[in-house]
Amino acid sequence: MKFSGFFKKKDLMQEAQDYKNSGKYDRALESYANILKIEPKNLKAWYDKASIHLTLEQYLPALDAYKTILELDPKNIKAWHEMGFILVNLGRLEEALKAYDKVLESEPENIKLLNEKAMILKELKRDPEVIKIYDRLLEKDPNNVKMWYEKGLMLSGLGKEADAFSAFEKVLSIDPGHGGALARKGMTIGTRRQYAESFDLLEKSIKIDASNWNAWHGKGKVWGLKGNDLASIDRKYDAMKAFETAVNAYGKALELNPKDAMLWFEKGVILNKLDRASEALKAFDKSIEINPQNANVWYEKGLLTKELINEAEAMNCFRKVLELDPSHTLARHKLKK
């Protein structure tokens, strides 16, 4: 009888594997279900069942199978990795990170997995952690232009402009014609009032890729700064010319990226400097439509609303400013008048 049971289980496993290998997945799953009724701790049956569900993109039953596998074999690195992949596809990113960390405990230099973990952290907007992983990966691959550039963008987003500038410089040392890095470097040195070099870099970036909205944004921003400087020394005509150039650049940037609230806001500020108040107000409204949480846009809208429409509506704008930023002194002062 013992031999009979052994051969029966062996025949069931062979049958299930034959179905699996021939792509008859429904029949294979039935066979594995029968095996697991007899032998609920059969690790191979669970693993084959999980792999079929994964192949069919049936992520929930696959996840249940991998959980059972890991209850039976908690150190199964392949199962942890595949479960992490499933959790990513289910949008359960925090859980996926825990699964990947289990793998990285055993394989801390797993480059593929470190890249996958970085992608999840990027999705979760946890840029400081992404940067730490990039630093590890760049030790292994110091000429990875894409990673240096992404690191620079993240550092800039975190307000670490000096470190971001160094990252963009590294990109350009590897690839001098990198349009994105040229644009970012051009914008950065433009904010330092190194206008000639800034404009040269921005124009090079646009020549390389005229669809790079960042380059057009940089051009608009830096010409706006130059216009401010010219206006401060009473060179009004030259200042207006600079602002016109800035507005045109913002227009091009917005053609390429019309859903960017900050571009609309910055364009509105320049339009106001050109005494095109109605157009500026429309730009502020567009910025608020995309992102209603920016207190500065509401403040600028309040100023123009008071000038163009009426004081009551302007006061509503200033109240919105204080709702978003209770420390906004200028809005508080306007409401006290």
Residues 164 and 181 in one domain: no
% of the chain exceeding 70 in pLDDT? 97
Residues 198 and 158 in one domain: no
What CA–CA distance (Å, rounded) separates 303 from 280?
Answer: 11
Give the CATH number for residue 334.
1.25.40.10
What CA–CA distance (Å, rounded) separates 306 from 14?
Answer: 81
Q: Which residues have C-beta within 8 Å of that of residue 167, sequence separation ≥ 6?
A: 148, 149, 151, 152, 155
Q: Would residue 29 count as lying in a domain? A: no
pLDDT (0 to 100) of residue 22? 85
CB atoms within 10 A of CB 275: 10
Query: Which range among 7-16, 137-146, 186-195, 203-212 shows the weakest confidence by mean pLDDT?
Result: 7-16
336 token code pair: 């006290």
The string of pLDDT tens digits covering residues 97-140 is: 999 999 999 999 899 999 999 999 999 999 999 999 999 999 99
What CA–CA distance (Å, rounded) separates 248 from 88?
Answer: 42
Domain range spanning residue 133?
Answer: 126-168
Q: Is 140 helix (H, G, I), strand (E, B) or coil?
A: helix
Q: What is the pTM of this model?
A: 0.79
Q: Would residue 86 count as lying in a domain? A: no
Q: Is 291 helix (H, G, I), strand (E, B) or coil?
A: coil
Are 216 and 249 in contact by the 8 Å Cβ rule? The answer is: yes
The string of pLDDT tens digits covering residues 251-307 is: 999 999 999 999 999 999 999 999 999 999 999 999 999 999 999 999 999 999 998
Give the count of domains, the chain: 3
